[in-house]
Amino acid sequence: MSTGMLFDIRRYSIHDGPGIRTTVFFKGCPLRCAWCHNPESQSGRPELLLHPNRCIDCGACAEACPNGAIRRADGAWITEHARCTACGRCVEVCYAEARQIVGRAYALDETLAAIERDQAFYAQSGGGVTFSGGEPLAQPEFLLELLRACKAAGLHTALDTCGLAAWEQFERVLPLVDLVLYDLKLMDAERHRQYTGVSNQHILSNLQRLCEQGKPVWLRLPLIPGVNDDEANLSAAAAFAAGLAGRPPVFLLPYHNSAAAKYAGLGLPYRLPGVVSPDEAHLHAAAEFFTRAGLNVTFGG
């Protein structure tokens, strides 16, 4: 039986599709969005995440580390992430729970058992299961097996995707997917590359093909002040969305900087320091671009 690299399975989710859902978070993503609020989703391997505010300064982690990745400097224990192999020994000895390994291999039956636990809630609320990440299509075999099993159990399935995958991968899973949550970020290819590490060309063409097939799609646009909230980008995004078959609804997701501590805990740079969340007026002004284009707009979701 196959396994998949996941970093969380979250129950009672109400923001990843209709109704009450269980969201399965795949680890590993081909994009590196500067605003990513799940930076632990990006690498496809287990990682060490630190919670320094919980540290009681005992030094047990430094003694346990076989790689000499933890040292004392300026009155604190410093972890060099570049030397860390995520072996987890320091986690085992840290009674303050200031250290955590994020991500592990989940067996198919273990994942299914977690999903099927809340079937009664799905039935009552019109919910189901959402495969998110990271990018689920980066682990296509595991995703396919999960989808087959979920459909056999009669569950509503949603795929939350960044859109960067070979079209053949979409074709394999689409018959088993009821709804696609699709990210729309930046319309200019060069700026898309600057902020995510990749061009948007393939992502946009996959989205067009998906909509032409008649598959229900919800567009999700994270609104990030100073990055993609300018008139040129919002006009272009609205025109593109309005030109898609089926004219999918648009969900505007306000940026928030709550993930900054996670970047530090993973030893990753945070590329948007100082960017603040858009306020209500800002959100409504952005929504106008889409409503004027005749699209249905929702905040959050």
**Contact residues: ligand SF4, CB under 6 A:** 48, 55-61, 64-65, 67, 69-70, 77, 79, 84-90, 93-94, 96, 98-99
Min. distance of Cβ 36 from ligand SF4 in angstroms?
Answer: 22
For the chain, strand residue ranges (E) read: 3-13, 21-26, 47-50, 70-73, 76-79, 99-102, 104-107, 128-132, 157-161, 179-183, 217-223, 250-254, 297-299
Chain centre distance of CA 168: 22
- Residue 236 or 261: the one with the smaller Cβ distance to ligand SF4 is 261
Tell the smallest beta-carbon distance from residue 5 to ligand SF4 (Å). 17
Give the shortest CB-54-to-ligand SF4 separation in angstroms.
7
- Which of 52/254 has CB closer to ligand SF4? 52
Helix (H/G/I), strand (E/B), else coil: 247 = coil
Q: Is 69 or 223 the residue whose CB approaches ligand SF4 more closely?
A: 69
Amino acid at 153: A
Q: Residue 181 to residues 70, 184, 248: CA-CA distances in angstroms?
A: 41, 10, 10
CA 125 to chain centre: 23
In the complex, what is the shortest distance from the CB of residue 43 to ligand SF4, in angstroms, rounded to a whole number? 14
Minimum separation from the CB atom of position 10 to ligand SF4 (A): 24
Residue 116, judged by CB atoms within 10 A of its CB (0-12, 13-18, 19+), counts as middle
| In the complex, least distance from residue 105 CB atom to ligand SF4, rounded to whole angstroms | 16
Nearer to ligand SF4, 80 or 212 (CB): 80
Closer residue to ligand SF4 (CB): 91 or 245? 91
Nearer residue to ligand SF4 within complex by CB, 75 or 274: 75
